């Protein structure tokens, strides 16, 4: 088994060894789907970029198929960004429906997702989801179903807003990964630990938070990214970019979903013994940061999320050449 940490007291994860142990080979005997089928639940009237960034990143890293489950308004927009994505216009926000239709629409949403669920290796819940109460109610049902089917979930953005208000959706589910940014982490700490974020004891607090939610994995984003499942903790400080343009967290969610799926395949074959959710987080974070640094070298102050996505392939190639 590879070690996830570098030697010594440093928390820094050995991301290069992790990449090398979980990246699948590109053999001609493989068929479509074996490298991963990812679904993003997100995208509403306001936000169409976030689910696109997440879903296209999953493909660019090496997943075979990437789906998006979004609102009816958002779907044609997301489809127009890319013909590579499979887009399901199934969600509805309160403004577009009548109260008396809510229960039948809710049943239709879950029936539609049920048809697909068993095929997915990982869901990403939340990029650009918005906060409409009816829509979030339907997404709660999707999450309950994913959990019944043992499908891993990466929860980000408005998915974290939902989960912070209803911790039971993920509590005690070892295949849940939460990827909070500064604001989202603050809200989780307040809700679960009933305290403020304490940076002096940041690792202990992160361990307590992950344990407090029953052993889910948390990737706390920031200057360094910190990862814990309540038992161990590690950090990723690979040099990234000084630009903080919106959307980098969305790349990260798609990236973690793919690496987590690959790490689970390796764990099933007994090739790794470390928690696959931790391996997925470390690899996802290290890749995004490396790609961000490469994009910044090219574009400097005008670096945007699309530029970082364009560098995902070259970053992977430098780590594990094909």
Ligand X SMILES: NC(=O)C1=CN([C@@H]2O[C@H](COP(=O)(O)OP(=O)(O)OC[C@H]3O[C@@H](n4cnc5c(N)ncnc54)[C@H](O)[C@@H]3O)[C@@H](O)[C@H]2O)[C@@H](O)CC1
Ligand Y SMILES: Nc1ncnc2c1ncn2[C@@H]1O[C@H](COP(=O)(O)OP(=O)(O)OP(=O)(O)O)[C@@H](O)[C@H]1O
- Give dist(CA 234, CA 162) in Å, integer: 26
314 marked as part of a ligand binding site: no
Q: Measured between alpha carbons, how far is 238 from 262 in angstroms, rounded to an integer?
A: 21
Rounded to whole angstroms, the Cα distance separating 221 from 155 reads 13
221 binds, among ligand Y, Mg ion, ligand X, none (CB under 5 to 8 A by kind): ligand Y
Is 215 a residue that touches Mg ion (CB under 5 A)? Answer: no
Q: Which residues bind ligand X (CB under 6 A)?
A: 47, 49-50, 127-129, 131, 157-158, 181, 183-184, 246-247, 249-250
Q: Which stretch binds ligand Y (CB under 6 A): 81-89, 242-250, 270-278, 313-321?
A: 242-250
Minimum Å gap between C-beta 47 and ligand X is 4
Structure tokens at 220: 């706390």
Binding of ligand Y at residue 285 (CB under 6 A)? yes
Instruction: Provide, rounded to whole angstroms, the least separation between the CB of residue 24 and ligand X.
Output: 28
Q: Which of residues 114-173 bind ligand Y (CB under 6 A)?
A: 157
Residues within window 17-46 making contact with Mg ion, judged by CB under 5 A: none
CB of 242 to ligand Y, least distance (A): 7
Helices 49-61, 312-319: inter-axial angle, 10-degree rounding: 30
Rounded-to-integer distance, Cα 100 and Cα 60, Å: 42
123-162 residues near Mg ion, rule: CB under 5 A:
157
To ligand Y, the closest distance from the beta carbon of 305 in angstroms equals 7
In the block, residue with structure tokens 């391996």: 279
Q: Is 288 in the site for ligand Y (CB under 6 A)?
A: yes
Number of shown-chain residues binding Mg ion (CB under 5 A): 2
Is 205 annotated in some ligand binding site?
no
Residue 55 interacting entry, from Mg ion, ligand X, ligand Y, none, C-beta within 5 to 8 Å by type: none
Between 13 and 70, CB nearer to ligand X: 70
CB atoms within 10 A of CB 298: 11
Q: What are phi and psi of 39, to 5 degrees?
A: -130, 135
66 touches 107 (CB < 8 A): no
Number of residues that bind ligand Y (CB under 6 A): 17
**Residue of 15, 71, 205, 248 that binds ligand Y (CB under 6 A):** 248
Q: Which residues bind Mg ion (CB under 5 A)?
A: 157, 249
Q: Which residues bind ligand Y (CB under 6 A)?
A: 157, 181, 221-223, 225, 240, 244, 246-250, 252, 285, 288-289
Q: Per the annotation, where are the binding residues?
A: 128, 181-187, 221-225, 240-250
């Amino acid at each position: 088994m590879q070690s996830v940490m570098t030697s010594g007291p440093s928390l820094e994860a050995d991301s290069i060894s992790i990449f090398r142990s979980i990246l699948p080979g590109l053999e001609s005997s493989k068929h479509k789907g074996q490298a991963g089928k990812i679904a993003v639940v997100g995208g509403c009237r306001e936000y169409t970029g976030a689910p696109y960034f997440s879903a296209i990143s999953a493909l660019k890293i090496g997943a075979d198929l990437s789906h998006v489950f979004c609102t009816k308004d958002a779907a044609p927009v997301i489809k127009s960004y890319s013909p590579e994505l499979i887009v399901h216009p199934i969600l509805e926000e309160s403004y577009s429906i009548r109260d008396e239709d809510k229960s039948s629409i809710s049943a239709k949403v879950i029936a539609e997702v049920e048809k697909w669920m068993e095929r997915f290796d990982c869901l990403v819940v939340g990029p650009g989801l918005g906060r409409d109460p009816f829509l979030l109610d339907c997404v709660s049902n999707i999450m309950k179903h994913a959990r019944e089917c043992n499908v891993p979930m990466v929860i980000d953005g408005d998915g974290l807003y939902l989960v912070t208000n209803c911790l039971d959706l993920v509590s005690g589910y070892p295949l849940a990964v939460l990827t909070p940014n500064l604001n989202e982490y603050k809200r989780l700490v307040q809700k679960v630990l009933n305290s403020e974020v304490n940076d002096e004891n940041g690792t202990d607090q992160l361990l307590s938070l992950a344990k407090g939610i029953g052993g889910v994995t948390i990737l706390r984003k920031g200057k360094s990214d910190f990862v814990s499942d309540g038992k161990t903790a590690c950090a990723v400080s690979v040099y990234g970019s000084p630009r903080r343009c919106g959307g980098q967290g969305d790349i990260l969610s798609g990236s973690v979903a793919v690496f987590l799926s690959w790490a689970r395949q390796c764990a099933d074959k007994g090739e790794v013994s470390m928690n696959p959710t931790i391996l997925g987080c470390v690899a996802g974070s290290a890749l995004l940061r490396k790609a961000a640094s490469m994009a910044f070298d090219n574009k400097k102050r005008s670096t945007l999320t699309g530029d970082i996505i364009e560098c995902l392939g070259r970053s992977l190639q430098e780590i594990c050449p094909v």
